[in-house]
Amino acid sequence: MRAYERFLRYAKISTASEDGTGATPTTARQLDLARLLAEELRALGLADARVDESGYVYAGLPATPGCEGAPALGWIAHLDTSPDFSGECVNPILHSDYDGGDVALPKGGRVLRVSEFPFLRELRGQTLITADGSTLLGADDKAGIAEIVTACERLIQSGAPHGPLKVAFTPDEEVGLGASHFDVKGFGARWAYTMDGGAVGGISYENFNAASAAFDITGVSVHPGSAKGTMVNALKLACELDSLLPAGETPERTEGREGFFHMVGLSGTAAAARLEYIVRDHDRAKFERRKQTLEDARRAVAEKYPAARVELTVRDSYYNMLEQIKPCMHLIDNAKRACEQADVPWQIEITRGGTDGAQLSYQGLPCPNLGTGDYNCHGPYECITAESMDKAVEIILGITALYADGVAENA
Q: Which of the residues 80, 147, 172, 390 is marked catalytic?
A: 80
Fold of 3-207+320-404: Aminopeptidase (3.40.630)
pLDDT at 411: 47
Could you write out the DSSP letters of every residue in 171-236? S-GGGT-TTTT--HHHH--SEEEEE-SB-TTEEEEEE-EEEEEEEEEE-B---GGG-TTT-B-HHH
Structural contact between residues 151 and 400, judged by C-beta atoms closer than 8 angstroms: yes
SS3 percent helix, strand, coil of the chain, rounded to 5, is: 35, 25, 45
* Distance in angstroms (rounded) separating the CA atoms of residues 16 and 86: 8
Three-state secondary structure call for residue 107: coil
173 labelled catalytic: yes
Task: Quote the Cα angle for 159-163-168, to 5°.
Answer: 100
Equal CATH topology for 3-207+320-404 and 209-318: no
What pLDDT tens digit does each residue of the chain (411 aa) get? 999 999 999 999 999 999 889 999 999 999 999 999 999 999 999 999 999 999 999 999 999 999 999 999 999 999 999 999 999 999 999 999 999 999 999 999 999 999 999 999 999 999 999 999 999 999 999 999 999 999 999 999 999 999 999 999 999 999 989 999 999 999 999 999 999 989 999 999 999 999 999 999 999 999 999 989 999 999 999 999 999 999 999 999 999 999 999 999 999 999 999 999 999 999 999 999 999 999 999 999 999 999 999 999 999 988 999 999 999 999 999 999 999 999 999 999 988 887 889 999 999 999 999 999 999 999 999 999 999 999 999 999 999 999 997 655 444
Three-state secondary structure call for residue 352: coil
pLDDT at 206: 94
CATH fit for domain 209-318, picks 3.40.50.300, 3.30.70.360, 3.40.920.10, 3.40.190.10 = 3.30.70.360
Handedness of CA 130, 135, 140, 141 (dihedral sign): negative
80 labelled catalytic: yes
* Distance in angstroms (rounded) separating the CA atoms of residues 407 and 400: 10
pLDDT at 352: 87
180-227 residue pLDDT tens = 999 999 999 999 999 998 999 999 999 999 999 999 999 999 999 998
Domains of the chain, by residue range, sit at 3-207+320-404, 209-318
* Distance in angstroms (rounded) separating the CA atoms of residues 291 and 288: 5
pLDDT at 292: 98
Backbone angles phi, psi at 174, to 5 degrees: -70, -15
Half-sphere exposure of 403 (CA within 13 A, CB side): 28
Cβ neighbours for 411, distance < 8 A, ≥ 6 positions apart: 70, 71, 330, 403
Q: Which of the residues 147, 173, 356, 390 is marked catalytic?
A: 173
pLDDT at 410: 47
